[in-house]
Amino acid sequence: KLRGKDFFNVKQNPYITFRSTKVKQTGPLTFEVDGDFTIRGVTKKEKLVLTDSGKGSPSGNIIGTMAFDRKEYGMNSGIPFIKIANRVEVSVNLRWIRISGPPPVFEQ
């Protein structure tokens, strides 16, 4: 049901994308990323909040969250006997390893 035309419609729109337009450091290891989020062929401005765990390390994790209203992207139907919230939270967890060059510089 979720892959069908009433929700993700993966046959017609197989990709979900987030293209960053602005990155702002909000703390020593936190960032807000504004961008264009596209799902089901609908693009809207959204904000992704990221936290980096690897300050000064050769590797680390970047954990992020973003929430969106599924109805704004055309996912209006429900699934019988299953309650789905209108506000959907997306989580990302990226592992990074510095291959070469100086470590990243974060504002304090």
Give the model's pLDDT for residue 55.
72
The DSSP line for 79-94 is: BTTB---SEEEEEEEE
Sign of the alpha-carbon dihedral angle for 15, 61, 66, 44: negative
- Please, what are the domains in the chain? 17-97 (2.40.128.110)
> pLDDT for 58-76, tens place per residue?
888 999 999 999 999 988 8
pLDDT in tens, 29-39: 899 999 999 99
The owner of tokens 């209006």 is 76
